[in-house]
A and B are shown apart, each in its own frame.
Chain A
């Protein structure tokens, strides 16, 4: 059972903005550990999308943005495109578990 909770699914029309929440606790996000986000296209390995809460690795479009506040983090996708249909996972470290932990995952559907 994951300690980082995400909505199972979000959807939006092309061009719209969607956000994905990642809710943790005082032993992970709330303790100050960084949150990272991954995009997993169908049938492929996850790819780092946002690192260190809000930083985009080279090559990631600026349509993707991340933020963190308190015990939660969020990923926003603006100007939604068909190729954004994928599963998205947040990730952090949990000091109570002494383990890196992933969110439950969110499937983004472009209507």
Chain B
């Protein structure tokens, strides 16, 4: 059964780069027909899609974040990563890695809280 698990620092300083990794089990990123991506949720607020990618195809980012977002993939570890640069307090949120297909987000990681503070 598909499982996703986020990992990374829980505290990032303003203007620095936020880096998170998602480890996938139960499916292979490189051979799956699914998309993989990230969604975030500021504490007590709603959900915001960050971006999605298909391993052997396209990558899509939320235009509001596109200039600061980078993704990478490590197929040997079945992991994908998110980097968000020049962070501010507004980037404080729970970050979820997700699997998606047919425009819906079917499987979510448990989420990891990232706080931007000096």
Contacts and interface: CB of A to CB of B under 8 A. Distances in A.
Give the 4 A-B CB pairs with smallest separation, nearest first.
A100-B49, A36-B104, A102-B47, A45-B108
Kindly state the interface size class of chain A when it binds its partner.
20 to 34
Contacts of B109: 45
B8 interface: no
Nearest to B48: A102
B102 A34 contact: yes
A46 B52 CA distance: 17
Please indicate which of the listed interface residues B48, B63, B64, B104 has the most CB atoms of chain A within 10 Å of its own CB: B104
A91 interface: yes
Kindly state the interface size class of chain B when it binds its partner.
20 to 34
Given A44-B110, A45-B108, 15 more contacts: A34-B103, A45-B96, A45-B109, A45-B111, A46-B96, A46-B105, A46-B108, A48-B104, A52-B102, A52-B104, A89-B46, A91-B104, A98-B63, A99-B63, A99-B64
A11 B48 CA distance: 25
B37 to A, nearest CB: 9
A41 to B, nearest CB: 12
B102 A51 contact: yes
Contacts, number: 58
20 contacts: A34-B104, A36-B103, A36-B105, A45-B108, A45-B109, A45-B110, A45-B111, A46-B47, A46-B105, A48-B104, A51-B104, A52-B102, A89-B46, A91-B47, A91-B104, A92-B103, A98-B63, A100-B52, A101-B49, A102-B49
B103 A100 contact: yes
Contacts of A100: 49, 52, 62, 103
Nearest to A2: B46
A105 B45 CA distance: 9
Interface in B39-62: 46-49, 52, 60, 62
